[in-house]
Amino acid sequence: MKKIFLDLFFFKIHECFMAQQTIGPKVPRSINSKKVFFAFSPGESSFQRGYFGAHPDVYLTGVLHIRYTNKKPIFARKVEVSFVGKESVFFAGTLEEGQKIKEDDDDDFSDDDVSTETLSTHSAKRTIFSSSTCLWRSQSKGSYEGVTELDLPFRFKLPENLPPSLYMDKGCGRIYYMLKAKISRRPIDPDSRNYEKKIKIFCPIVRYTVIPPQAPSRWLVKKEGPALPHAVGYDVSLSNSTFGTGLSYVVPIKLTFHEPQIYLKKIFVGIKEYHELRTDRYETETKRYIVEETINAENIISTSDSENEYSLDVKLSIPSSRNLVYSVDSTYITVSHKIKVKFHLGKAPNIRLSKFINIKNMVSAKEFSRESLKVDIPAMIQQKLPFKVDIVKNKNSNAHISKRLSPFLPMFNKIHIIDPKSQKRISMEQLLHLTDYENPNTVYNSRSPRCSIK
């Protein structure tokens, strides 16, 4: 009886675990190998070369390493590398596209208070960008060659309209990029249909924005005559509408009371972050403050003898990128920010002001070179001396199978690769003069029409 109870207990645990695994979209994962792996280009600390978004020519570069032994080489026909970007969303909600999302009212409200027990779940996924290139091909078309050690450099030019990598709301919204390698190989087992060796790793893409010049904006209301109904005048200024993480900004505020019975209780200034996730039919929205400041009236000094005028500077410190999501607008994901100012008044309605702003990953003009970065692919394809492979024949195998497994091993000083532009074979000597090439792939992004990368 005890054994039956334990079996039932562990079955329920397994059932719950499997149910959790099936909820939501499939989480992207890396596929690693000790024999085939990616590495940064020599002297680099990331695959991304340059300040993407701030510089016109930014490349993704790296090296694909293949490491097999002389006794157990991999018999391959070609080696391909691809760079792929995807966007995915997963959420619970019932608001159909076209229905109006409830306006933000600043009332005390938490998204956690909403019950999602009766809500259905929705998901969507698309490919943002995909580009591939052939790094190596066997000398004889359709034949396999034994490979032990190869170092294959690669590069991809980043289209200027790619969104940055993004992870939000515990993975409900993702924009991610991956480097993938595929080796067309001969199966180890003659009865196997596994003709490919694949690996893939995450490759974060970071966008930058050059710190813009100041572009002041103001909310300004003044009493210019007895017929004007405004009982309170205010002047609120912003030095810019684009903010950067880790920086501080000052918001000057000036208040003037034209009615003696009206008084100030407190002033609130904050920046609110909005997350909008959508599919082709449904959408949902979450929001939260990433920074907020409240100043009580007793802490504000009057600037006039009649105590009807107040002036102060409110300092807002934008948190680091770990505590917020940069502004982005893509097909399924929109992240926006709004600065909100609220004057709590006595014997008069409160005054609320708001304005959309952008929060970007800032970089100064001095931090990057205005000259185009020259990205060269060095002649790094290396191969040890020709080797002899010991073939152990299976006594139970037929003669024609043994013959089919006999490898054709060329001299590796005659290795050729494929020119990404002309798709023709070029020698190691010609590789030294390999120049830049155009990327013919097409990009889809942010509900914009198709555009070709030139």
pLDDT tens digits, one per residue of 152-183: 999 999 999 999 999 998 889 999 999 999 99
More confident residue, 407 or 428: 428
Domain that holds residue 269: 228-366
Mean pLDDT of the region 205-215: 90
CA distance readout (Å), 254 to 140, 208, 310, 348: 79, 34, 6, 18
DSSP for 141-200, written as a single string: TT--EEESEEEEEEEEEPPTTPPPPEEEGGGTEEEEEEEEEEEEE--SSTT----EEEEE
Q: Are residues 341 and 303 in the same domain?
A: yes
pLDDT value at residue 40:
95
**Strand segments (E) across 262-396:** 263-278, 282-296, 309-317, 328-329, 333-346, 351-360, 362-363
Residue 18: inside a domain, yes or no? no
Q: What distance in Å separates the CA atoms of residue 15 and residue 386, rounded to the nearest whole number?
A: 54
Give the residue among 410, 417, 424 at the shortest CA–CA distance from 147. Answer: 410
Residue 257's CATH number: 2.60.40.640
Give the residue among 257, 226, 222 at the shortest CA–CA distance from 236. Answer: 222
Q: What distance in Å separates the CA atoms of residue 264 and residue 296, rounded to the nearest whole number?
A: 9
Q: Are residues 191 and 70 in the same domain?
A: yes
Mean pLDDT of the region 227-247: 86
Mean pLDDT of the region 295-302: 90
Residue 201 scores a pLDDT above 80:
yes
Whether residue 358 contacts residue 211, with contact meaning beta carbons closer than 8 Å, is answered with: no
pLDDT tens digits, one per residue of 63-119: 999 999 999 999 999 999 999 999 999 998 655 554 555 555 544 434 444 444 556
Percentage with pLDDT > 70 across the chain: 67
Whether residue 131 contacts residue 83, with contact meaning beta carbons closer than 8 Å, is answered with: yes
Q: What's the half-sphere exposure (Cβ side, CA atoms, 13 Å) at 9? A: 6
pLDDT tens digits, one per residue of 373-408: 444 444 333 333 333 333 333 444 443 333 333 333
Residue 364 confidence class, pLDDT cut points 50, 70, 90: confident
pLDDT value at residue 224:
56
DSSP for 307-339, written as a single string: S-EEEEEEEEEPPPGGGS---EE-SSEEEEEEE
pLDDT value at residue 344:
96
DSSP for 398-426, written as a single string: -HHHHHHT------GGG--EE-TTT--EE
Retrieve residue 207's tokens.
């966008």
The structural domain count of the chain equals 2
Give the residue among 161, 196, 85 at the shortest CA–CA distance from 130. Answer: 85
More confident residue, 348 or 394: 348
Q: What's the half-sphere exposure (Cβ side, CA atoms, 13 Å) at 52? A: 21
Q: Are residues 203 and 302 in the same domain?
A: no
Retrieve residue 418's tokens.
């494929």
The rounded mean pLDDT for the chain is: 76
- Residue 155 CB: number of other CB atoms within 10 A? 21
Q: Are residues 177 and 122 in the same domain?
A: yes
Q: Is 14 helix (H, G, I), strand (E, B) or coil?
A: helix
**Domain boundary pick from 341, 366, 391:** 366
More confident residue, 49 or 22: 49
Residue 214: inside a domain, yes or no? no
Q: Are residues 237 and 359 in the same domain?
A: yes
Q: What distance in Å separates the CA atoms of residue 359 and residue 335, rounded to the nearest whole number?
A: 10
